[in-house]
Structure formats: C-alpha cells, structure tokens
Amino acid sequence: MADELTFFDSSGALASHRVEYGPDAPPVPGSPLLVRGVRLSADRRPYLQRRLPASRASQRELMETLEDEVRVGLALARAFGRDSYPPEFARLAAYDLAADEPFVLLQQGGENDRPVSRVVGKLLTAEQRMFEHSLIRSVRLLGWAGLVHRAINPSTVLWNGDRVQLTSFGHAEVVGRPRRRVGGAPWASPEQREAVGVVDPRDDIWSVGQLIHHVVTSQPGSDSGPPRYTNDLGGGLEDLLERVFEPRAHQRPEARTLLARISAPDPCDELLRPTDELAEGRAMFDRLLRSKGQGAWPPFPGSDTASGRRGGEDRGDAWGRAAARDGRAGPADDGYRGTGPNGYPRDPGEREGAGATWGGYEAADGWTTPGGASSRISGGDSPRRRWWARGTDSRNAEDPWTEGGRG
C-alpha cells in the first residue's frame, strides 16, 4: 500500500506524492541516518531517502549535518544547472527538515552502484584507470563549484564500473572558510584533522590519494605520510600520487594536475560561469557609487563605512540598510548575500536566524530558493549560521565564484 509523502522539491516548490518505501538498508557504522529506497507514483523512478529518526531529530549537530546536505545540494544545482549536472554527484531531489523524521530525497546512483569498499583490490587495470579518472574529475568539478567534500572515504563513494559518484555531502564546506575538525585518519587530511587554516580544494586531494591507493593495492593508508606502496606496483601509481600526501594543502598538486598526469582532459574547460544578466547594471552601479565618494551612503554604527571604508566597496551593506529605512527591498549582491526579515543584508556579525539560500532572497518565514519560491528549511531558527548565511562581497575569496574559489 502506497503512503503519502510531502516535501519541497529542489526548486523550493511544495509537493505531495504517493510513494512506495523499500526496507531500511543495513546501518552505516558511525552514521545515525536511516537509508531506504523510495519510488514516487508520479514517475516510478527510484530515489534514496536519508532520514533522521524522530528520537534523534532534536540533536542539533545531527540536524545541522542534514541541513548542510540540503544546502550543498541546492548550491550544486545552481552551479551546474539541470543539463550540466555531473553524474559524479548525487543530486538533491527533495527534502523536508521540519518532518517528524527529517529527510532528504536523492537521485543517487543506479542498480549497479555500490560502495567502493566492496571493490577494494578487485578492479582490473583498465577499471582502475577509469576509477582514478572519475574520482579525480569529481573533486575537480566540486572545486570549480567552490566546495570541498571533506568526507571522501570508501563508504561515501559509489562505483558502477564506469564512474564514481560522491554521496553524503553533510560535511562539505565552501572554499576559504575556517576548517572544522571532521573525519579521522587516514582519509581526512592532517590539517583537517587538526582544524587549522581555511578550507582548500586540496584537502580532498589527500583523501582521493588515500582512496586510490587503497582500492588499487588493498593496503591500508597511513595517517602521517605516504601510504606504504612499493616500487614494483607498476601502472604509474607512484607517479600519479607524487606529492599528494604532503602535510599541508598548499604543498599538494591540484586536481587538474593529477588529471594531466593521466592524460585526461580538464572538465572545467567545458564549463562557463552562469551568465549574469545584471552584470552591466551592477558595474554601472559600482561606477556611480564610487563617483559619489565616501559619503555616498550615510555611515551606520559599527560598519566598515563608518570606519572610513570607501563607498561602493560593500554596496550590499549600504543598499540593504538604506532600503530598510526607505521601505524598499534590498537586493542580494553578487556575493549571494541574503536579506533578513528586517531588510538588512546578512552580515557575519548579525544575529542568527533563518538562513539565506545560495544566490536567493530570504523570506521572513524561511528560505527563498534561487528560483524565488519560498520554502521553509528548518522553521526559521537554524541553530548555527555558516557559509550559506554569510554576506560576502563578490571580490572576497570566500565567494566560490571568484577565481580562487573555482580552483
């Protein structure tokens, strides 16, 4: 008998469908989430539901991980769009974080996809090459989107014989944000285990190297240096992994360098930043604001403008506050700033509250998606503000669309 399931789809629209649930899969060690297959009556396509038991839905850290997966899923959908979305990433289809059992619904894998942990030491040479190429390609594309997975290991990567698929984005973070301690040896990089510095795409390079070495050799990795591979492995593994296990991210090669080592094309050569139809108007606004000088907008207490920062260098702050005074709606700047219910831009030092979507506007009762449809994510009281709710100028390195963020 089919059940009714209500959720928000990836565009933020509220939907309700008849569904058929499969049995819960065996629990993944260390994960509190329950996983099962789901089929919607509307399209009969298979989906994967990851849900948090009602008994644990009140635990803030677990809810934050599920919220992160939703926000990263929305960010990836916005970065790549429908037609260019890489098959190397699980695709967010729907979610409801206010349900008794909060969940995400994913278009994830296929019948032949299985965790990499099941194929360790079993791939033929040609399959090993495809695995290496697809895994490196996946982190290259993720870095282009300004994100770092931070949890690549045998249980979060699927393999179907032709390509990998990254799953479990609950610990992903935007490039340039301060590192938080996530993961353990040997999969997590030393700087990630120590929570020092800022997030770098080459954090994932360490994990990729460990996983490639493990799959090819069946040997465990090392938590403090190069894995114990020997000189007679053949196949160029040592050449591929040269300097991958340096103790700090800036010492490691980038993903595109690893692709070049296996004579594989850089997938980012075929990608372009989504066209900003308002780019010309934004540039004109900047020029006009700079021409007015430092007094273009009245300073407000505690602001950079009040401290002497040049007008126009943070137009989101000035615009949002002036708009709030005049009763207008302040726009998000091209650093993807959301505005709070009071009309002010979302600043790092402002109060916590409902989050802002990636490139969208915030509604007083929750989120507004990039398409403009309002959708409640967590009841407007997200317990922690992270990168998705920070205001950053488009010239700030924390903006994933800057040159540095795109890797």
CATH of the domain at 17: 3.30.200.20
CA 46/CA 107 separation, integer angstroms? 7
* Interval 59-87 mean pLDDT: 92
Q: What is the pLDDT of residues 352-384, one digit of tens each?
A: 333 333 333 333 333 333 333 333 333 333 333
pLDDT at 244 over 90: yes
Based on the fold, state whether residues 242 and 125 are members of the same structural domain. Answer: yes
The answer to whether 349 and 343 are in contact (CB under 8 A) is no
What residues form DSSP beta bridges with 158? Answer: 115, 165
Q: What is the pLDDT of residue 367?
A: 37
Based on the fold, state whether residues 152 and 199 are members of the same structural domain. Answer: yes
Statement: the pTM of the whole predicted model exceeds 0.75: no
Based on the fold, state whether residues 43 and 166 are members of the same structural domain. Answer: no
In a domain, 294, yes or no: no
User: Three-class SS of residue 321?
Assistant: helix
Based on the fold, state whether residues 63 and 138 are members of the same structural domain. Answer: no
The residue behind tokens 């492995």 is 233
Which token pair is 75? Answer: 């960010």
- 186 preceded by cis ω (within 30°)? yes
Based on the fold, state whether residues 153 and 100 are members of the same structural domain. Answer: no
Based on the fold, state whether residues 118 and 229 are members of the same structural domain. Answer: yes
User: Three-class SS of residue 352?
Assistant: coil
Q: What is the pLDDT of residue 10?
A: 87
Q: What is the pLDDT of residue 299?
A: 55
CATH number, position 164: 1.10.510.10
Domain end call among 79, 107, 135:
107
28: containing domain? 3-107
What residues form DSSP beta bridges with 157? Answer: 166
In a domain, 24, yes or no: yes
**Long-range contacts of residues 206-210, Cβ cutoff 8 Å, at least 24 apart:** 206/244, 206/245, 206/249, 206/252, 207/149, 207/150, 207/151, 207/152, 207/153, 208/135, 208/136, 208/139, 208/152, 208/244, 208/255, 208/258, 209/241, 209/244, 209/245, 210/186, 210/245
- Higher pLDDT: 355 or 248? It is 248
In a domain, 374, yes or no: no
pLDDT at 93 over 70: yes
pLDDT confidence band for 206 (50 / 70 / 90): very high
- Higher pLDDT: 399 or 49? It is 49
* Torsion-angle region of 176 (φ positive above 0: left; ψ -120 to 50: alpha; else: beta): left
Based on the fold, state whether residues 58 and 123 are members of the same structural domain. Answer: no
The residue behind tokens 């699927």 is 158
* Weakest-pLDDT range from 90-94, 112-116, 160-164, 392-396: 392-396
Based on the fold, state whether residues 188 and 85 are members of the same structural domain. Answer: no
The residue behind tokens 């139809």 is 277
Domains: count for the chain: 2
Q: What is the pLDDT of residue 221?
A: 83
CA 245/CA 27 separation, integer angstroms? 31
The answer to whether 338 and 360 are in contact (CB under 8 A) is yes
Q: What is the pLDDT of residues 260-316, one digit of tens each?
A: 999 999 999 887 655 566 778 888 888 887 787 766 655 544 545 444 444 444 444
Q: What is the pLDDT of residues 110-145, one digit of tens each?
A: 778 899 999 999 999 999 999 999 999 999 999 999
Q: What is the pLDDT of residue 234?
A: 57
In a domain, 234, yes or no: yes
In a domain, 304, yes or no: no
In a domain, 140, yes or no: yes
Amino acid identity of 199? Answer: V
pLDDT confidence band for 169 (50 / 70 / 90): very high
pLDDT at 343 over 50: no
CA torsion sign for 199, 200, 203, 204 is positive
Quote the mean pLDDT of the chain.
76
In a domain, 14, yes or no: yes
Domain end call among 211, 239, 270:
270
Based on the fold, state whether residues 157 and 253 are members of the same structural domain. Answer: yes
Q: What are phi and psi of 367, to 5 degrees?
A: -110, 155
* Interval 173-189 mean pLDDT: 94
* CB neighbour class for 121 (10 Å; exposed up to 12, middle 13-18, buried from 19): exposed
Domain end call among 89, 107, 125:
107
Based on the fold, state whether residues 66 and 87 are members of the same structural domain. Answer: yes
Q: What is the pLDDT of residue 222?
A: 83
- Higher pLDDT: 349 or 31? It is 31
Q: What is the pLDDT of residues 26-47, one digit of tens each?
A: 887 778 889 999 998 877 788 9
Based on the fold, state whether residues 122 and 262 are members of the same structural domain. Answer: yes
* Interval 225-245 mean pLDDT: 73
Of the chain, the percentage scoring pLDDT greater than 70 comes to 67
Residue 36 vs residues 24, 159, 258: alpha-carbon distances, Å = 5, 19, 35
